Amino acid sequence: MAVSGFEGFEKRLELHFFGDHNDPTVTMGLRLIDFDSLNQVLRVVQCAVVSAVGNHFFDAYVLSESSLFVYPTKIIIKTCGTTQLLKSIRPLIHLASDLGLTLCGCRYTRGSFIFPESQPFPYVNFKQEVICIEENLPDTLCFRKASVMPSKLPSYSWHAFSAGDAEHFPADDTFTVEVCMTELDRVMARKFFKTSHDSAAAKGMAELAGIDGINPRVIVCDFEFDPCGYSMNGVDGDRYSTIHVTPEDGFSYASFECVGSVYDDQDGIVETLKKAVQVFKPATVSVSTTSLHREVWTTVARAMEPLGLKCRSFVMDEFPAAGTIVFQTFTEARRK
Which residues have C-beta within 8 Å of that of residue 26, sequence separation ≥ 6?
A: 19, 20, 72, 73, 100, 101
Question: Mind listing the pLDDT tens digit for each residue in 133-152?
Answer: 999 999 999 999 999 999 88
> Where does the pLDDT of residue 2 fall: very low under 50, low under 70, confident under 90, or very high at 90 and above?
very low
Beta bridge partners of 253: 182, 246
Q: Is 257 a catalytic residue?
A: no
CA 288 to chain centre: 10
Measured distance CA(183)–CA(189) in Å, rounded: 9
Q: Is 67 a catalytic residue?
A: no
Annotated catalytic residue, options 16, 159, 168, 244: 244
**What's the CA angle centered on 197, arms 256 and 194, to 5 degrees?**
45
Helix (H, G, I), strand (E, B) or coil at 52: strand
pTM of the model: 0.93
R_g (Cα) of the chain, nearest Å: 19
Measured distance CA(89)–CA(98) in Å, rounded: 15
CB 38 within 8 A of CB 281: no
pLDDT of 235 over the 80 cut: yes
Question: Mind listing the pLDDT tens digit for each residue in 48-85?
Answer: 999 999 999 999 999 998 999 999 999 999 998 889 99
Helix, strand, coil percentages, rounded to 5, for the chain: 30, 35, 35
Phi and psi for 41 in degrees, rounded to 5? -65, -45
Beta bridge partners of 285: 181, 330
Question: Mind listing the pLDDT tens digit for each residue in 3-35?
Answer: 567 786 889 999 999 987 666 566 899 999 999
- If you ran DSSP here, which 8-state letter would residue 94 be given? H
Q: Is 66 a catalytic residue?
A: yes
Annotated catalytic residue, options 10, 14, 183, 257: 10
Question: Mind listing the pLDDT tens digit for each residue in 255-268?
Answer: 999 998 877 887 88
Measured distance CA(76)–CA(323) in Å, rounded: 17
Q: How many CA atoms lie within 13 A of 51 on its CB side?
A: 18
Specify burial of residue 211 (Cβ count, 10 A radius: 0-12, 13-18, 19+). buried
Annotated catalytic residue, options 47, 67, 80, 252: 80
Strands 158-164 and 143-149, how do they pair? antiparallel
Annotated catalytic residue, options 7, 14, 129, 183: 7
Q: Is 244 a catalytic residue?
A: yes
Question: Mind listing the pLDDT tens digit for each residue in 101-110?
Answer: 999 999 999 9
> Where does the pLDDT of residue 335 fall: very low under 50, low under 70, confident under 90, or very high at 90 and above?
low
Cβ neighbours of 262 (radius 10 Å): 15
Q: Is 7 a catalytic residue?
A: yes
Measured distance CA(315)–CA(195) in Å, rounded: 42
Residue type, 290: T
Annotated catalytic residue, options 66, 147, 255, 286: 66
Q: Is 221 a catalytic residue?
A: no
Measured distance CA(329)–CA(180) in Å, rounded: 9
Cβ neighbours of 117 (radius 10 Å): 9
CB 256 within 8 A of CB 300: no
Annotated catalytic residue, options 151, 162, 231, 288: 231
Largest CA distance in the chain: 59
